[in-house]
Amino acid sequence: MSWLVYLLQCADGSFYAGITNRLEHRLEAHNSGEGARYTRSRRPVILLATQAHQDRSEASKAEAKLKRLPRKKKIAFFES
C-alpha cells in the first residue's frame, strides 16, 4: 500500500501538510471536523497536491521536509 504526502489549503488561505494511506477517508475527516486540530476551525479544506511514497517512513521524511519549507516553495515541492 502506498503512502501519500498531501497539501491542503484551508478556508483561511493557510496550508496544512500531512501523510495518509487512505486519502479519501482523511479528506472527509478534515472536512467533517474530525481531522487534525489545526484544520477543524479552518474548514472547508481543499486538496492542492499529493506525492506517493513506498512506505510510511519515506512519507514521514518527505512531510517533515515539506513542513520546513517557506510557503512559496511548498507547491514547488510537489513539482519536483
Residue the block writes with cell 493557510: 14
Confidence at residue 1, expressed as pLDDT on a 0 to 100 scale: 77
Integer Cα distance of 15 and 60 in angstroms? 17
Strand blocks (E) in the chain: 3-9, 15-20, 46-53
Cα dist from 43 to 3, 7, 8, 21, whole Å: 24, 14, 11, 22
Residue the block writes with cell 481543499: 46
pLDDT at 57 over 90: yes
| 14-43 per-position pLDDT tens digit | 999 999 999 999 999 999 999 999 999 999
Domains of the chain: 3-79 (3.40.1440.10)
